[in-house]
Chain A
Amino acid sequence: MITAGIDCGSKNTKIVIFKDDNIVSTASVLSGFDQEEAATEVLSKALENAGLERGEIKNIVATGAGMDAISFADDKVTTITANAAGAHFLFPSVRTVIDIGAEEGRVLRVDENGKVKDFGINEKCAAGAGAFIEAMARALEVDIATMGELSLKSTKQIPMNAQCTIFAESEVVSLIHQKTLKEDIIRAVHDAIADRNTSMVRQIGIEQDVALIGGVANNIGFIDSMNRNFGFDLLVPKELIAPEYVSALGAAIIAKEKMGG
C-alpha cells in the first residue's frame, strides 16, 4: 500500500511517500501564501521522484499549521500526533521528542507505542524557533547554512539575556559593537534557543531516549548546544530522512494505519 503525508508548515511544505514501511520519496517547497498550491506542487514533485501516479496513493493525511488548506487530503492529524508517529518509527526507543520548526517549538512525551502522553507548545514567541536563527543570521550578515559550523569554533560562553527575538537582536548588535567574534555570538544564539526549548521539555519531563526533529535540527551548532544542556546526545534523524520530514513521515504512517495497514 502506498500512502502520503503532507506537512504544511509555516515556511515549507514537506511530503513523504510511504510504501510497505519504506520511505520512497520526499520533497519540499516553500509554503508561500497559497498552501493548497504548495501542497499540489510538492505532491507532483514527490510523485515524479518516485515514478508514481497520483492514483497509486491510497490515502493522504495532512498535518502542520496549514493542514486545513489542503482540500485534497483524505484526512488530517495535528503536528504533535504526526511527530509522535514519525519519531517512534525512526527511533522506537524514543520517549521524548523535541520539534523545532520555523515558527514554533514543540515538545512531547510518548509511550512505547508512540502514543502522545503529554505535550507543550511555544506558540506565543519565535525566540525558541527557527525564525529566531534567521533573524540573527541577518543581523550578523552570515549565511544561515554556515551558522552551525561557525558556532562550533567558539570556545566562549556568552549568556543572552533577552527573552524576545527583537530585544535579542539588539543584544546581538551590542555584541557586534563590542567586537565580539561572530562564532561566539552565534553560539550564544544557539545556546539561547536551546535554553528556551530545554526549559519547555523540563515542564513535561525528560525521559530518554530524546529525539530532536524539525528544520532546526539540521544545525550542528544547535545540536551541540542541546546536547550540552541535556548532558547526553539527542537522537537526530540522519540516515533514513532529514529531520524536517519527520512530521510528514508520521502523517504518512497514520495514513497507512487509517487504511488498516
Chain B
Amino acid sequence: MVETKYPTEALKCWNKAKELREKYYEDYAKAHEKGGIRWAGGAWSFDAIPAGLGEDVYSLTGEPYGASVAFNDKFAQECHEATEAKGYARDLCSYMRNYWGSAILNKYAFPQFSDEFPKPDFMWQDHICCSHAKWYQVASDLEGGIPLFSIDVSVGPYEQLTDHKINYVVKQMHDGIKWLEEVTGRDYDDELLIKAVYNEFRTCHYWSAICTLNKTIPAPLDEKSMYSLYVLGTLKKSAQWTADFYEKELYPDIQDRVKRGIAAVGNEQCRVMTDTQPPWAFLRVFRYLEQYGCVSIGSLYTFGLIGLWEDQEDGTWGPRSIPNIELTNRDEALRALAEWNLSKPEWQHFYHPKLKSDMMIRIAREWKLNGVLLHFNRGCEGLSLGIAENRLAIQKAGFPVMPFEGNMGDEREFDLPRTMKRIDTFMESLGVEKFKI
C-alpha cells in the first residue's frame, strides 16, 4: 500500500447511492407493470408538481439519462448516428441527441430493466435553456405524440425577482396541474404536493451543505465521486428518498470524514474546480489529475445544478436555509416552489456571464483553489454560454485557468491524450509535480 499524506477511505454510503440510482431507472421502466404513471422531462422541471398525482408516479429526467448514455460510449455513438441519420444536426445538445437516439432506436440505456425505450405517459418540462422545450417537442413527435406541458421560467435573475414575475410562473403551474388531471384522468392531491415541496427544500439545502464541507483541506470529496452523488438530486429532487439520503446518510458521512481528516485524494497538494458537464466517457481525466495530487473540489455546475446557496452570517457562501414556513394549500406550495427554484445558481447565468463569474470567483476564493479547468463544452450551449468571458474574469481575479474543448455526450469531440498533455502543461505552470509511483 502506498503511503499518502492524508488518510483515504471509501464513502460509507457509496453503494446506497448506486442502488438508489439503479432503482430509479428500474422503477421508471416497470411503472406500468404496477399500474403507475411514467413521465419524462428535464432535471430542472418542477418535479414536485407531478408528485401530486400519486405515489406511483415515476419520472425519467433527460439530462442524467443523456449522461448515462454518454458514459456508455458505444451506445452513445449509436444514438448519435441514429439522430444524424434522421437529419438532426451534430452540433445540437448532445444529451438531447442521446435521448432522441434512444427513442429512435427504441433502446433503453438500462437493458437489464427493459428491452425497449419506455415511453412516458406525458412530458413535463420547463424552459430556461434554449434546447429544453424543443427537446421534448421533438421527443413527443418521435414517440408518437406524447402530451407535453412546458413552463417558461425565464423571468430574469433572482436578484431582480418581483411578485409579478413569480405570479407569471405560478399561474403556469396552476394551469399545469389542470392539464395533468386531464391527461392522466387522476385527481390531484395537494397534500402530496406539499410533502414533495418540503422534500425538495431538504434535497437542495443538504446538497449545498455537503458541497460546503469541501472547503476543508484536505477535501473530503472529489468531483468524480460527486457526480455519482449529485445525480440523485437531478433524478428526483422532490422525492423523500433523495432528501433522506442527503440529510441522513451522505451529510453525516462527509461531516465524519472532515472530523477525521479523511481525504478524497490522499496526496492533495493542488485544488481546482471545473465547469459545466464533464466529458462523461472520459472521467479518467480526474484520475489523471490525482497523479499530481490535484483534487477537483467540484464546480458551480456540481454545486449549483441542484444545490441552492445564500450568504451566511459570516459572509461566506453556504446552503440556502430551508424556508421556515407552513404550507397549507396548493397556491402557497406552488409559490414557495417557484421562488425557491428561481434562486437556482445555474439559472442565473442564462441572463449574463457576470452572474456566473461572480459565483465562480467566490468558489475559487472560499474553496481555496490553485486554478480552474474550464470545459468549453460543445455539447451544451446553455451552460457554455459566456464561458470565454468567465475565463477572463477568473484570470483577472488572480486564478490561473486551463480551458479545454470537448463534449459532455459526444466522445467524437474529445481528445483524451491532448487533454492530458494540456493538464501536464497547466500543472507545470502551477509548479505542481507529478508523484512518481
Q: Interface digits, B399-437 against A, CB 8 Å rule (1 contact, 0 not)? A: 011010100000000010010011011001100000000
Interface residue from A78, A121, A124 paired with B428 (Cβ < 8 Å) = A78
Cβ of A123 under 8 Å from chain B: yes
Q: Is the beta-carbon distance between A123 and B428 smaller than 8 angstroms? A: no
Q: Which residues of B contact A120 (CB under 8 A)?
A: 403
* Contact B428 A77, beta carbon cutoff 8 Å: yes
Kindly provide the distance from the CB of A111 to the nearest chain B CB, expressed in whole angstroms.
11
CB of A81 within 8 A of CB of B405, answer: no
- Give bound CA distance, A115 to B403, whole Å: 19
How does the 8 Å CB contact mask read for A128-150 relative to B, with 1 for contact and 0 for none? 00000000000000000000000
Q: Does A2 contact B (CB under 8 A)?
A: no
> Is B429 touching A119 in the complex (CB atoms < 8 A)?
yes
- Contact in complex: A81, B415 (CB < 8 Å): no
Residue of A nearest to B426 (CB): A119
B428 x A116 contact (CB < 8 A):
yes
Contact A81 B429 (CB under 8 A): yes
Instruction: Kindly report which residue of chain B lies nearest to residue A79, judged by CB atoms.
Output: B425
Q: Is A80 an interface residue (CB 8 A)?
A: yes
Q: Does A118 contact B (CB under 8 A)?
A: yes
The reply to whether B405 and A124 form a contact with Cβ atoms under 8 Å apart is yes
The interface residues of chain B, by DSSP majority, are classed as helix
Determine the chain B residues whose CB is within 8 A of the CB of A117 once the complex forms: 400, 429
Given the contacts A118-B395, A118-B400, A124 and B415 also touching, CB distance less than 8 Å: yes
A116 CB contacts on chain B under 8 angstroms: 425, 428-429
Number of residues in A with C-beta < 8 Å to the partner?
15
The closest CB in chain B to the CB of A203 belongs to B388
Alpha-carbon separation in the docked complex, A112 to B264 (Å):
37
The smallest C-beta distance from B167 to any residue of chain A, in angstroms, reads 44
State which size class the interface on B falls in.
10 to 19
In the complex, what's the smallest C-beta–C-beta distance from B279 to chain A, in angstroms? 14
**CB–CB B424/A78 < 8 A:** yes
- Alpha-carbon gap, A118 to B422, bound state (A): 12
Given the complex of chains A and B, what is the CA–CA distance between A124 and B414 in angstroms? 10
Least CB distance, A36 to chain B, in whole angstroms: 18
Judging by beta carbons under 8 Å apart, are B405 and A80 in contact?
no
Chain A contact residues: over half helix, strand or loop, or mixed? mixed
Q: Mark B367-396, 1 if CB is under 8 A from A, else 0.
A: 000000000000000000000100000010
Query: Using Cβ atoms and an 8 Å threshold, which residues of chain A touch B418?
Result: 121, 123
B428 partner residues in chain A, CB cutoff 8 A: 77-78, 80-81, 116
Please indicate the chain A residues that have their CB under 8 angstroms from the CB of B422 in the complex. 121, 123
CA distance A119 to B402 in the complex (A): 8
Residues of A within 8 A of B400 (CB): 117-118
Contact B421 A78 (CB under 8 A): yes
Q: Which residues of chain B are within 8 angstroms of A119 by Cβ–Cβ distance?
A: 425, 429
Determine how close the nearest CB of chain A comes to the CB of B289; give it in whole angstroms.
Answer: 15
Determine which of B388, B401, B403, B425 lies in contact with A81 in the assembled complex, contact meaning CB atoms within 8 Å: B425
CA distance A120 to B403 in the complex (A): 8
Residues of chain B within 8 A of A80, CB atoms compared: 425, 428-429
The CB with the most chain A CB atoms within 10 A, among B400, B405, B421, is that of B421
**A81 CB contacts on chain B under 8 angstroms:** 425, 428-429
Which residues of chain A come closer than 8 Å to B424, judged between CB atoms?
A: 78
Whole-angstrom CA separation of A119 from B425 in the bound complex: 9
* Bound Cα distance from A200 to B128, whole angstroms: 32
Encode B103-145 as 1/0 by CB contact (under 8 A) with A.
Answer: 0000000000000000000000000000000000000000000
Q: Enumerate chain B interface residues (CB-CB to A < 8 A).
A: 388, 395, 400-401, 403, 405, 415, 418, 421-422, 424-425, 428-429
- A residues within 8 Å of B by Cβ? 77-81, 115-121, 123-124, 203
25 A–B pairs (Cβ distance < 8 Å), ordered by A: A77-B428, A78-B424, A78-B425, A78-B428, A79-B425, A80-B425, A80-B428, A81-B428, A81-B429, A116-B429, A117-B400, A117-B429, A118-B395, A118-B400, A118-B401, A118-B429, A119-B425, A119-B429, A120-B403, A121-B418, A121-B422, A123-B415, A124-B405, A124-B415, A203-B388
With A115-B429, A121-B422, A124-B415 known, 8 other A-B pairs at CB within 8 A are: A78-B424, A78-B425, A80-B429, A116-B428, A119-B425, A119-B429, A123-B415, A124-B405
